[in-house]
Structure 1
Amino acid sequence: MAKLIIRGLETHVDIWNEAAGQTIVALHGFTGSTATWQSLAKNLPHMRIVAIDLIGHGQTAVPEQESRFTMDEQLRDLEDIVSQLQLETFTLLGYSMGGRIALSYAIEYPHRVEKLLLESASPGLRTLKERMERCERDDALATKIMNNGVLSFVNAWENIPLFESQKRLSHNARQAVRTERLAQNETGLAGSLRGMGTGVQPSNWDKLTQLELPVLLLTGSLDSKFCNIALEMKALLKNGNHITVNDAGHAIHVENPAEFATIVNEYLT
């Protein structure tokens, strides 16, 4: 566990299996934290896992200025983090929101990333109309979080269709995800939605063709929306693969941690 000062912001980083050879930098999804990757680190003891609490999440300090939450700021933070940790090159893994960030980082700093693993991730929205509509929805959700608090938000969030398949998880697994979500901060979540939600981030669709590095797209078969996005992405990537995990939804690493770790391991070795 480390606390780094990154461009004026105290940033929380967890590092597991420090003596291991290969390094995976792992980025969680919206409402997540480094805790998301604990089971992956346990399942891959021969790999060093560097997990980061992204802006507005976990134990990373919440910025006072809303402008500090943008995708551009987060990418600059990531570059500062890997520089401070003296990571020349590494594998980059991102889930959902973390996948959007990971893809954006790989486009901006391709010399850093040996391989890119995107779990249930998208390059953003294609059209200005889609982005504006999404911005409105995210802004309304941010206002609701600020007005009603994290508990009220989490109670609603865990019941959206995207997470339906997680209801089959064991009580302990569901509780772990809920605890991680409830540990968040209203201002952090609202800032994250407004600063780097899917609507406000620049679209990366037209940049996929320029990526030379190997990209693995992982989706759960029950998450048809992201399976379709992955198929469209694969068609544009020069060096892309797509694996669908049967009987899993959006959060494969939570719903089937053993298979998720096996896929990651096989892809990297």
Structure 2
Amino acid sequence: MEPLTATVRGIRIGYREAGNPDGEPLVLLHGFTGSSASWTGLAGEFGSYRLIMPDLTGHGKTEAPETADRYAMKEQVADLDALFIRLGLDHFSLLGYSMGGRIAIGYAAAHPEKISRLVLESTSPGLRTQEERRLRRESDEKLAAFIEREGIRAFTDRWENIPLFASQKQLPETVRERVRSGRLGNDPAGLAGSLRGVGTGYQPSYWDTLEQFGMPVTLITGELDEKYVNIAGDMARLLPEVDHVTVPDAGHTVHVENPARFATIVRKALKP
């Protein structure tokens, strides 16, 4: 499952394909500091589907543009859509984790006619108020500056020890090393640009859009990730057709902490 590349809208995008080339398409969007490689361990669980796993802007093999505007939500959505058109995808299921989930929501809002089912893991439709967004932009700017100043290794040491990922410390060392290696493989300029362009403080709020989503939506959260359990609960009250599943003894990265349960939930969500 070697990484592939395609140039669309003036940017080189990395992606991977796996599964059944004639199967129903399933697009998987990774989180911040991840890449298409984040999903390769799960590919066998969805072997009957045609799996498309892009590297989001500034991550993996996708270019890291110099200007933060090129990472903005509308640009990410346009780049993905151009890639999907190139790959012949006109109707597909879309799964996104964390940052990838936010971008999946943005894509579904822009192109609802293309999404058959939407699966969102540990994510949000954005921040509700301008003040919340302002404070988050300030926080993300400090983190982006830290990445540029201290480099990818120092950032990774800091990032993997934030409370959001505390439950990962209970994982086997081999799993933790695989996650760490994926983070270290990213371009620090790309991660800084991602924070400044599509961080939660910069993206549009989609809370008022959720009521218009006509596709079935499955929300996946980990029981130990209380913040995102609550966010998903609020989302579930707005979405017309929704199933919210919370996985016991798991935190923010359910697909890493309990991949078997995660795969079972996703397969059920994708059934017609």
TM (norm. structure 2) is 0.97
AA of the residue aligned to 1:185: D
Q: In 1, distance between residues paired with 2:139 and 2:34?
A: 20
Point out where structure 1 has 5 or more consecutive residues left out of the alignment.
none
Q: Aligned residues, how many?
A: 269
Residue 185 of structure 1 is matched in structure 2 by: 187
After TM superposition, give the deviation of residue 20 of structure 1 in Å. 4.7
For the residue of structure 1 that corresponds to 2:6, the secondary structure is strand
Q: In 1, distance between residues paired with 2:223 and 2:50?
A: 29
Deviates more, 1:232-241 or 1:42-51: 42-51
For the residue of structure 2 that corresponds to 1:111, the secondary structure is helix
Q: What CA deviation, in whole Å up to 9, does each residue of 1:100-158 have, x standing for no partner?
A: 00011001000110000000010000000000000000001101100000100000100
Q: In 1, distance between residues paired with 2:269 and 2:143?
A: 37
**Partners of 1:41 and 1:47 within 8 A in 2:** no
For the residue of structure 1 that corresponds to 2:60, the secondary structure is coil
Q: In 1, distance between residues paired with 2:35 and 2:112?
A: 25
> Does 2:63 correspond to 1:67?
no
Q: What CA deviation, in whole Å up to 9, does each residue of 1:66-125 have, x standing for no partner?
A: 221111100000110110000110000000000000011001000110000000010000
Q: What CA deviation, in whole Å up to 9, does each residue of 1:200-225 have, x standing for no partner?
A: 11111111111111110000001000
**Partners of 1:118 and 1:218 within 8 A in 2:** yes
Alignment of 1:1-269 (within 5 A): 1-269=3-271
**Partners of 1:28 and 1:36 within 8 A in 2:** yes
Distance 1:93 1:21, change over 3 A: same
**Partners of 2:66 and 2:193 within 8 A in 1:** no
Q: In 1, distance between residues paired with 2:202 and 2:68?
A: 13
Q: In 2, distance between residues paired with 1:50 and 1:218?
A: 20
AA of the residue aligned to 1:147: R
Q: In 1, distance between residues paired with 2:116 and 2:221?
A: 21
Deviates more, 1:111-120 or 1:38-47: 38-47
**Partners of 2:119 and 2:269 within 8 A in 1:** no
**Partners of 1:89 and 1:111 within 8 A in 2:** yes
For the residue of structure 1 that corresponds to 2:112, the secondary structure is coil
AA of the residue aligned to 1:67: D
For the residue of structure 1 that corresponds to 2:113, the secondary structure is coil
Q: In 2, distance between residues paired with 1:63 and 1:131?
A: 23
AA of the residue aligned to 1:46: S
AA of the residue aligned to 2:208: D
AA of the residue aligned to 1:6: V
Q: What CA deviation, in whole Å up to 9, does each residue of 1:153-205 have, x standing for no partner?
A: 00010000100000111111000000000001111000000000000111111
After TM superposition, give the deviation of residue 245 of structure 1 in Å. 0.7
**Partners of 1:69 and 1:192 within 8 A in 2:** yes
* Runs of 4+ residues deviating >3 angstroms: none
Q: In 2, distance between residues paired with 1:265 and 1:165?
A: 24
Q: In 2, distance between residues paired with 1:65 and 1:72?
A: 14
Q: In 1, distance between residues paired with 2:183 and 2:126?
A: 23
After TM superposition, give the deviation of residue 65 of structure 1 in Å. 2.4
AA of the residue aligned to 2:225: D
Q: In 1, distance between residues paired with 2:186 and 2:20?
A: 27
After TM superposition, give the deviation of residue 64 of structure 1 in Å. 2.3
AA of the residue aligned to 1:126: R
Point out where structure 2 has 5 or more consecutive residues left out of the alignment.
none
